[in-house]
Amino acid sequence: MVSKTGIERFQMVKKRHEKTFEKAVQEKKADAQIIPLCRFLNQQPFFFTASSCSGRIVVLRLDAQETKREAAFFYKKHEKTNAKIVWNKINEKTTDILWFKQEPFILHLGTNSLENANRVLVCARKAGIKRAGIIVAKTGKFLIELIGTHGMAIPVKKNNIILVEKDFFVFLVKQANKKLEINFERLKKFEKIVKKELRNQQ
């Protein structure tokens, strides 16, 4: 049983995250692939979504110590990409280390109780999501993190020297696109299960 204070705290946090999400949608900063899932969860009385990403293909810029630069993303796209476009991008002059990466989805879902948190984890297992767990457990607030397992990363440039042949890079982009598509399919499967299992849960 959640206390009155816990319920009030949850409602306050939920409203704040819903406002942040809707602002991101209006400013076109929210990933299109993830909007239907986030919107559905935010419409449920005892769930909300926090910072989440549907998965993406990026070229990440690192400095000599291999830490992120202030403008870390040399290239970023939340959908399948074109090898020629990315190849031209990494050919731009830079002394930074560039990594080509395909990153999986990451979801942060909030709820009011351990019971509801476990319902989310059951949905994740049914969708084949292996990396899922509760990362915050407080009275009236439970935060669940789900991370996809389809990803890849390879350094492609250092000291303004490209480290891979163009044909190999084209192959990398094809693989990244395939993995991203699988990632989106897993996300859609989770969305379908969630809409069936979590609708109007108390």
User: What percentage of the chain has pLDDT greater than the value 70?
Assistant: 91
pTM of the full structure:
0.87
Domain that holds residue 167: 4-197
Domain count, the chain: 1
What is the DSSP track for 120-131? HHHHHHHTT--E
Residues in the chain: 202
Is the pLDDT reported for residue 34 higher than 90?
Answer: yes
Residue 86, pLDDT score: 97
Half-sphere exposure of 147 (CA within 13 A, CB side): 8
Is residue 202 in some structural domain?
Answer: no
Residue 2, pLDDT score: 54
Distance CA 165, CA 92 (A): 16
Residue 7, pLDDT score: 79
The answer to whether 72 and 56 have CB atoms below 8 angstroms apart is: no
CATH number at residue 15: 3.30.1960.10
Is the pLDDT reported for residue 152 higher than 60?
Answer: yes
Is residue 38 in some structural domain?
Answer: yes
Residue 139, pLDDT score: 82
Residues 6+ apart with CB under 8 A from 184: 33, 54, 55
Question: Of the candidates 20, 25, 93, 86, which has an alpha carbon nearest to the alpha carbon of residue 58?
Answer: 86
pLDDT one-digit tens code per residue, 91-150: 999 888 899 999 999 999 999 999 999 999 999 999 999 999 999 998 888 999 999 999
pLDDT one-digit tens code per residue, 38-55: 999 999 999 999 989 999
Mean pLDDT of the chain: 91
Residue 29, pLDDT score: 87
